[in-house]
Structure 1
Amino acid sequence: MCRSIKTLFNFEPPASDAEVRAAALQFVRKLSGTSAPSKANEEAFHRAVEDITETARRLMDSLVTTAPPRNRDMEAMKAKLRSAKRFAPR
């Protein structure tokens, strides 16, 4: 489940609120062991997603770096090349 959580800090343009929320959702799914909570756990599940979203946004807004921002397209291309090499037929 958490394999879809990507690094969100130090990109240009910065991570959107939707991207931060998606990462929080994946994190809560991983912790809870379910992708869809039962009715009994629905409120706690959604509250956790919102709390983690807020905390993650605060963290990202607080982080500083001297490194230049990374380019999303270049990072995606590098990931595709790594994947192609990793899963290439032998």
Structure 2
Amino acid sequence: MCRNIHTLHNFEPTATSDEVHAAALQYVRKIAGTSKPSRANTAAFDRAVAEIAHATEHLLASLVATTPPKNREAEAEKQRARALASGRYAR
């Protein structure tokens, strides 16, 4: 599950709210041990995702980068090349 959480800091363009929410959702899923909570736990699950996304947005806004921002497309291409080389991805 957590393989889907990617670094969000120091990219150009900056992380979107959707990306932050997706990372928070993956984190909560991992911690809760489920990808879909029961009806009894849905409110707590959704609240945790919202709070973690909020805290993550504050963290990203507060971090100071000492290196130039990375290009999202170039980094995605590097990741695809690594996946192809390891045999995890087929075109």
- Superposition deviation, residue 2 in structure 1: 0.8
Question: Number of residues paired by the alignment?
Answer: 88
Match of 1:46 in 2: 46
Identity %: 53
Q: Secondary structure at the residue paired with 2:14?
A: coil
Structure 1 residues 30-86: Cα deviation after superposition (integer angstroms, max 9, x where no partner) = 000111110110110000000000000010000001200000010001001111111
1:13-24 alignment runs, 5 A limit:
13-24=13-24
Match of 1:60 in 2: 60
CA root-mean-square deviation = 1.0
Match of 2:69 in 1: 69
Match of 2:5 in 1: 5
Paired with 1:36 and 1:66, the residues of 2 have a C-alpha distance of 39
Q: Which runs of 5+ in 1 are unaligned?
A: none
The one-letter amino acid of 2:46's match is H
Q: Which moved more, 1:79-88 or 1:51-60?
A: 79-88
Paired with 1:58 and 1:22, the residues of 2 have a C-alpha distance of 16
The one-letter amino acid of 2:22's match is A
Q: Which runs of 5+ in 2 are unaligned?
A: none
TM value normalised by structure 2: 0.93
Paired with 1:82 and 1:18, the residues of 2 have a C-alpha distance of 25
